[in-house]
Amino acid sequence: MHVEVRGLNKKFGDFQAVRDVEFAIGKGQLIGLLGPSGGGKTSILRMLAGLEKPDSGDILFHGRRVNDLPPQERGIGFVFQNYALFKHMTVADNIAFGLQVKKWPKPKIKERIAELVELTGLAGFEKRFPHQLSGGQRQRVAFARALAPEPQLLLLDEPFAAIDAKIRHELRSWLREMIDRLGITSIFVTHDQDEAIEVADEIMIISKGKVEQKGTPWEIYKNPQTPFVASFIGESTVIEDIASLKGFEAAASWPGTKGLIRPEYIEVGKENEFILLSATEAGRVSHVHFRGSEWLVEVQVGEIKLVTYRSLEKKVLQPGEEVRVLVHRAYLFNDNDNWVMENKLKEDPLPVHI
């Protein structure tokens, strides 16, 4: 289903939970709504579902305005954050509910249950009650129940939040696969960026009720359009006095400009590890932490503290050691503007012409 939202606003009392939200989603896409808790993600989902009435704005499915359509008529599958399974019904009855309500003939209902139980790997659990299932199994029941009446749009509110980390990974890829197979347009909410990046075709970053940016995970990572997005996606350190770093002196021509640097923008090592020594800063290692697959290195460069990773293959750095630090790029921003600046000294100052 093609979904479009225009100028959506929602207030709870005096609190503006959703603010001028606009977006369009193509058929068959899997979209992740990502943002901090309390940002308004659930509210957006609930308005799409018709559980909450927007104060203003239009919601269009297939180009048709559905604002006045009750939730019963919207043809949406919804997976609640805590699943909201019917606790006095068995797994099979939970899945059958939507079909019975729609007066499907009995044999067809039976067939559909069998199909969904197979799809969600719940075979053998049909007669169990929700309280007799594990978290992951409940999630699958919620998924099966939502999919049973063949909805055109699937909404999932933090579908993995209540599941322990290990199974969460499995479920994520399972969900991705399932949605690809069914080709159903889906929107899922999460506050976990790894989850969004791993699962979604496109991410919408939501903060304080606004869509900060919409794009593929790579686009958002590479080209964050607001300081909020830049600091929310990935890890980063904000540097007040970015112009004091070698290669970024030009930043001084925009007063009030700050820099944001990610660990992966920085290289740290001994002098012999760099070809362009002139572009590097002198620094001192203040801490190293073992992170399983790499070292997390904290270095002090003048007044500035930077954080970066270092491969386990390279020579181990010790706290207190003098090192060279190369900052490849920084994301600069001030009140009016934001852009990515490459280290100016990285371009060889004395190019050799042949």
Partner 1 sequence: MKALWITLTFIVFALLLGIPVVRIAGGAWDDGWSGFAAGLSRPEAVHALMMTGLIVVIVTAVNALFGVMLALYLVRAKWLGTQLKRIMNSIVDLPFAVSPVIGGLMIVLLLGPDTALGSLLNKAGVPIVYALPGMVIATLFVTFPLIVREVMPVLQEIGDQQEEAAHLLGAYAWTTFWRVTWPSIRWSVVYGVVLTVARTLGEFGAVLVVSGNIINKTQTATTLVYEDVENFNLTAANAVALVLAACSIGLLLFMEWAKSRKAS
Helix or strand holding residue 349 (H, E): none
Choose the stretch contacting partner 1; rule: CB under 8 A; options: 34-42, 84-92, 306-314, 333-341.
Answer: 84-92
Q: What is the DSSP string of 14-29?
A: TEEEEEEEEEEE-TT-
CB of 55 to ligand ADP, least distance (A): 13
We find the least distance from the C-beta atom of residue 168 to partner 1, in angstroms, to be 21
Instruction: Note whether 40 binds ligand ADP by CB under 6 A.
Output: yes
Question: Which parts of 99-118 interact with partner 1 (CB under 8 A)?
Answer: 101-102
C-alpha closest to that of 61 among 77, 74, 73: 74
Residue 82 found at the interface with partner 1 (CB under 8 A):
yes
Residue 257 token pair: 């400009």
User: Considering only 34-42, 104-112, 144-152, 163-171, which stretch makes contact with ligand ADP by CB under 6 A?
Assistant: 34-42
Alpha-carbon gap, residue 332 to 273, rounded angstroms:
27
Minimum CB–partner distance for residue 161 and Mg ion (Å): 9
Minimum Å distance from CB 31 to Mg ion?
A: 16
Amino acid type, 311: S
Angle between helices 106-119 and 91-101 (to 10 degrees): 130
DSSP 69: S
Closest approach of partner 1 to the CB of residue 77, in Å:
7
DSSP string, 36-57: -TTSSHHHHHHHHHTSS--SEE
- Segment contacting partner 1 by CB under 8 A, of 146-154, 174-182, 198-206, 246-254: 146-154
How many Å apart are CA 160 and CA 55, to the nearest integer? Answer: 30
Among 10, 140, 145, 168, binds partner 1 (CB under 8 A): 145
How do strand 266-269 and strand 322-327 relate by DSSP bridges? antiparallel
Q: How far apart are CA 127 and CA 92, in angstroms?
A: 7
Nearer to partner 1, 74 or 329 (CB): 74
Q: What residues make contact with Mg ion under the rule CB under 5 A?
A: 42
- Distances from the Cα of 93 to the Cα of 89, 144, 336, angstroms: 6, 11, 56
Q: Is 12 in the site for partner 1 (CB under 8 A)?
A: no
Q: Which is nearer to partner 1, 86 or 339 (CB)?
A: 86
Binding mask 57-76 for partner 1 (x = CB under 8 A): -------------xxxxx-x
Q: Which stretch binds ligand ADP (CB under 6 A): 39-47, 56-64, 287-295, 307-315?
A: 39-47
CA angle 347, 353, 354 (to 5 degrees): 140
**Beta carbon nearer to Mg ion, 81 or 223:** 81
Can you tell me which residue has the tokens 């909020």? Answer: 228
Spatial contact of 111 and 84, defined as CB atoms under 8 Å apart: no
Tell me: does residue 51 bind partner 1 (CB under 8 A): yes
54 lies in the binding site for ligand ADP (CB under 6 A): no
Residue of 7, 12, 73, 132 that binds ligand ADP (CB under 6 A): 12
- What secondary structure does DSSP assign to 217-235, as a single string? HHHHHHS-SSHHHHHHSS-
Q: Give the binding site for partner 1 (CB under 8 A).
A: 49, 51, 70-74, 76-78, 80, 82, 84-88, 97-98, 101-102, 145-146, 148-149
Q: Give the binding site for ligand ADP (CB under 6 A).
A: 12, 15, 17, 35, 37-43
